[in-house]
């Protein structure tokens, strides 16, 4: 079994986190310690929880638990994107694009949760 870097969901969640990072550079300064920090944290945590899950794949319950944490962080990211849209920090097109990416990450995570044996879980 390869490294977590080989996982499609890893690549897609990393790309999403980096897109959000770049976009959030243009959020207002007053959002620095609220929306900007929160959306960066949750999008990065989606990716990092996945990495942790992959390293715990020897233990099915731990693997699934960390993947559900990743899925939770991904859902939180979508919530923050809705705030960014409502505050007019991002366009509707950008919102739809990022939410679409997030939903794809969610589908891939749920596949891993429902089929842990395909990812080297004993």
pLDDT per residue over 55-76, tens digit each? 999 999 999 999 999 999 999 9
Classify residue 10: in a domain, yes or no.
yes
Per-residue pLDDT of 16-42, as tens digits, reads: 999 999 999 999 999 998 999 999 999
Q: How many domains does the chain have?
A: 1
96 belongs to a structural domain: yes
What's the chain's average pLDDT? 95
- Cβ burial of 94 (10 Å; 0-12, 13-18, 19+) is middle
* Assigned domain for 16 exists: yes
* CATH assignment of the domain containing 39: 1.20.1440.60
Assess whether pLDDT exceeds 60 at residue 1.
no
Give the pTM.
Answer: 0.94
Measured distance CA(15)–CA(31) in Å, rounded: 23
Domain boundaries, position 12? 4-116
In a domain, 122, yes or no: no
Instruction: Answer whether 115's CB lies under 8 Å from 66's CB.
Output: no
């Amino acid at each position: 079994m390869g490294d977590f870097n080989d996982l499609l969901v890893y690549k897609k969640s990393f790309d999403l986190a980096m897109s959000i990072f770049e976009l959030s550079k243009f959020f207002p300064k007053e959002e620095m310690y609220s929306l900007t920090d929160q959306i960066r944290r949750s999008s990065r945590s989606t990716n990092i929880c996945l990495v942790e899950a992959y390293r715990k794949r020897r233990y099915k319950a731990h693997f699934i638990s960390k993947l559900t944490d990743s899925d939770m962080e991904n859902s939180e990211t979508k919530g923050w994107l809705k705030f960014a849209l409502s505050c007019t920090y991002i366009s509707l097109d950008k919102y739809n694009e990022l939410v679409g990416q997030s939903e794809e990450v969610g589908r891939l995570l749920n596949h891993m949760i429902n089929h842990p044996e395909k990812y080297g879980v004993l």
